[in-house]
Structure 1
Amino acid sequence: MKHSLPALSLLATASLLTACGGGGGGGSSTPPPAQMGTVAVSMTDAPACGFDAVNVTVSKVRIHQSSSASDTDSGWTDITLSPAKKINLLNLNNGALEGLGTASLNAGHYSQLRLVLDGGANSNTVVRSGTTSEVPVDTPSALQSGIKLVNEFDVAAGQRVDLVMDFDACKSIVKKGNSGSYSLKPVVKVVPFTLNGISGFVSTTALASHVAVSAQQNGVIVASTTPNPATGEFALARLPAGNYDVVITGDGYSASVVGAVPVTASAMTQLSTSAAPIAPVLSPGGRSIGGNVSLTPGSTTEPAQVSAMQTIAGGPTVTLKYTLTPIGGGAYTLENLPIASPRYAAYSATLPLAFATATTTPPLAQYRVDASATGYATKSVATVDVSVVSPINVNFTLMP
């Protein structure tokens, strides 16, 4: 699941942030002049799919008041890391942060952030699950000026502003055809810094089965995480205020879905406790759906996404599994899809939640499968039956 990944947090602050997930960057403790504010930067993360490590090396963060400023324009304020900092994003999970540094800013309105990664050999790498070797990730030359983020925020004299950049590594690391190599295609968004969101516990008996917890809206994964392997605790942190459907999946288990979980801007909504964790129920042998996605016309920059989805009667539409093809389309596999129906509970502040077997559309042991890519129309197969022998072959051709 989302496989949401990294989050880089950017803070305008009068002091260095000390984060629970890592050390802070450099910066002076001397109070800034009255007409100045201060910016500090940190990074946080969520899980990546199929990797034991996702390493990025940050060399600089750049800040500008104009959203249209180019990298050569004047007026940039830089936070330079010397030496550049190599960070395994998977060490930052459940809301943890990694400090990157601080800089003073003139009081005023700011509209652009840029995250600059080092492009040297072995600066940005992945370690495939079950292996130990670092595989270099190609960093396109277009990113050498920095990953551009257009975001509006104000810095007041002598005041602190907190921002977090969420870097989705699962969608940012994409395969390059059948070469076995990878390319960086950054997917980054700015989210609130305040530690709000959704928290709870999953039974530790299921944690060896690649359990993932995601927050979704209309089947779109907004954020995800993996529970603490020792305690089962999870936190879907720094979510924009609103209602979310929480989906808990694990290989060999039915999905557990909590519908319409409310999130405020300043607090954590709790779904379960350590004394009464959410306990996923075993499902008969997981099935797989595979095939090929063709992009017409072809693309040299875009992968396709394939999602297995179900709609719960009287409840939400949710994504239970998703995967990305190589850049330009190609083969995909959705693995370990449960045959049993999801267990569903509508949100209640009274715990523990009462889960019941859900009726779904399509019905038991069947999924709707969607294929999508940026710039192409989404295609769907309404009913794919996984109760038969797998793998099941489903192909797509996407056009604008």
Structure 2
Amino acid sequence: MNIQHKLGAALASVSLALLAACGGGGGGGTADTGTLGLSLTDAPSCGYDHVNVAIQKIRVNQSSTASDTDAGWTDLAFSTPKRVDLLTLTNGVLTSLGQIPLQVGHYTQMRLVLAANDSTNPLLNSVMPTGGSEVALDTPSGVQTGLKMNVDINIAANQLADFVLDFNACKSVVSAGNSGKYQLKPVVAVTPNFISGVSGYVDASLANGNTLVSVQQGGMVVKATAPDATGKFLLQPVAPGSYDLVVTAPGRASEVVTGLTVTASTVTLLNASATPLTLAASLSGTAAGTVTTTTTPIDASVRALQTLANGDKVEIIGRAVDATTGTYSYALPVSATMVAAFVAPQGTLSFSADAATAAKFGLEASSAGAVKTAGPLTLTAGGATTTNFSFP
């Protein structure tokens, strides 16, 4: 799962055998029907204390090209919008959205339909910036008719296919100029509800809401979270496989654990509370610029990446640009990233500075499926570089 399309494209692929491993079994179906179970979780937000979204219904269809008015839709609808604070759903916390009885078959499209703010409920969808007051979160009309997500879900007779909608609040809430307004441009991934994942600890001094822990493949974030008040983090669900675990925090050198192995039906223990990850202090430089597009509001994002000496790419930060001005600005550590190879669960991690990463970053901008890159850039402590991108 490495899909991060700004209008919510998301991909999940799973076999019938995997469905059984992920909660398959009696789903209350018949010889002709099975059940799709859905839950919601969230990656951490950036600079917000609350992000509330109101879900009207979830729709599924076997046709990937079906429009919202075509036949073949089965809906999981709520009599009143289900309002969820996404920031309560980090560190492996899920909230159930319910179950949908479905005809046996292969389903390729899902739509997430959000309710709109109105005069009666002006803060139905809302955001509370850290240190600020609750304000409305504007939802585009396309989200209100159904955020399209491409999926690959097999429904088997009398089986439960258990899936999770992973809502990335950090990349979904977009500022709009200096007006104090915010827009919702959902970034959602649909994944099987794997039991497997990763847990561990960062130092308590980093348990401040600004530290981000993620597992990545090929420089794409698969799952991310913020440690809790004790420094503990849990990344779940995560598919079995090999990952880079990346830890970032403002004013700190990043840390990466390479070759982290996640096995089926197991939560991999990275380290114990007695040996937390402690990120060294680092000075920062700024990478900033503007993205221009031919459409308004501006729908684009910019990521800052590093390439490790072993060739692995990791994302250090990535967010949507300002929807009105197209601007972005990232404070990035100039100290070398500290890298350690994964060892057996709770084994000693031996970190060393990866000199190839010191103050070196690549930038990647994306808009409407197009991608442009720049760099590598060399930052200086207290300095700033400007990199602009233009999409015709």
Q: Which runs of 4+ in 1 moved over 4 A?
A: 29-34
- Correspondence 1:243 to 2:235: no
Give runs of aligned pairs for residues 61-210 of structure 1, distance below 5 A.
61-120=58-117, 121-131=122-132, 133-208=133-208, 210=210
- 1:304–1:216 CA distance, 2 compared to 1 (3 A): same
- Correspondence 1:342 to 2:337: yes
Q: Is the 8 A contact 2:212 2:249 kept in 1?
A: yes
Q: CA deviation at 1:315?
A: 5.6
Give runs of aligned pairs for residues 296-315 of structure 1, distance below 5 A.
297-314=293-310
The amino acid that maps onto 1:151 is: V
Query: 350, 353, 366: which is aligned to 2:348?
Result: 353
Q: Is the 8 A contact 1:45 1:167 kept in 2?
A: yes
Q: Is the 8 A contact 2:365 2:389 kept in 1?
A: no
Query: 280, 286, 289: which is aligned to 1:289?
Result: 286
Aligned length: 370
Q: CA deviation at 1:71?
A: 1.8
- 1:154–1:376 CA distance, 2 compared to 1 (3 A): closer
Which residue in 2 is equivalent to 1:23? none
Q: Is the 8 A contact 1:45 1:89 kept in 2?
A: yes
Query: 303, 321, 325: which is aligned to 1:325?
Result: 321
Give runs of aligned pairs for residues 2-13 of structure 1, distance below 5 A.
none
CA RMSD of aligned residues (A): 3.0
Name the CA distance, whole Å, in 2 between partners of 1:377 and 1:34. 46
Name the CA distance, whole Å, in 1 between partners of 2:258 and 2:298. 32
Which residue in 2 is equivalent to 1:398? 390
Name the CA distance, whole Å, in 2 between partners of 1:324 and 1:110. 30
- 1:322–1:72 CA distance, 2 compared to 1 (3 A): closer
Q: Is the 8 A contact 2:215 2:223 kept in 1?
A: yes
Q: Is the 8 A contact 1:343 1:355 kept in 2?
A: no
Which residue in 2 is equivalent to 1:381? 375
Q: CA deviation at 1:189?
A: 1.9
Q: CA deviation at 1:265?
A: 4.1
Query: For each residue in 1:285-313, what CA deviation from the matched residue of structure 2 results, as whole angstroms up to 9, or x when unmatched?
Result: x3241432232x53325444333333332
Q: Percent identity?
A: 37
Q: Is the 8 A contact 1:38 1:103 kept in 2?
A: yes
- Correspondence 1:40 to 2:37: yes
Q: Is the 8 A contact 1:209 1:251 kept in 2?
A: no
Name the CA distance, whole Å, in 2 between partners of 1:272 and 1:327. 40
Q: CA deviation at 1:66?
A: 2.1
Q: Is the 8 A contact 1:302 1:373 kept in 2?
A: no
Q: Is the 8 A contact 1:309 1:369 kept in 2?
A: yes
Which residue in 2 is equivalent to 1:221? 221
Q: Which has the higher contact order (CA 8 A, sep 6+)?
A: 2
Name the CA distance, whole Å, in 2 between partners of 1:148 and 1:304. 18
Name the CA distance, whole Å, in 2 between partners of 1:312 and 1:353. 21
The amino acid that maps onto 2:390 is: L
Query: For each residue in 1:256-305, what CA deviation from the matched residue of structure 2 results, as whole angstroms up to 9, or x when unmatched?
Result: 21012122343222211123222223x14x3241432232x533254443
Which residue in 2 is equivalent to 1:316? 312
SS of residue in 2 equivalent to 1:143: helix
Which residue in 2 is equivalent to 1:13? none
Q: TM-score, normalised by structure 1?
A: 0.83
Q: TM-score, normalised by structure 2?
A: 0.85
Q: Is the 8 A contact 1:288 1:333 kept in 2?
A: no
Name the CA distance, whole Å, in 1 between partners of 2:251 and 2:68. 49
Q: Is the 8 A contact 1:213 1:248 kept in 2?
A: yes
- Runs (5+) with no aligned partner, structure 1: 10-28
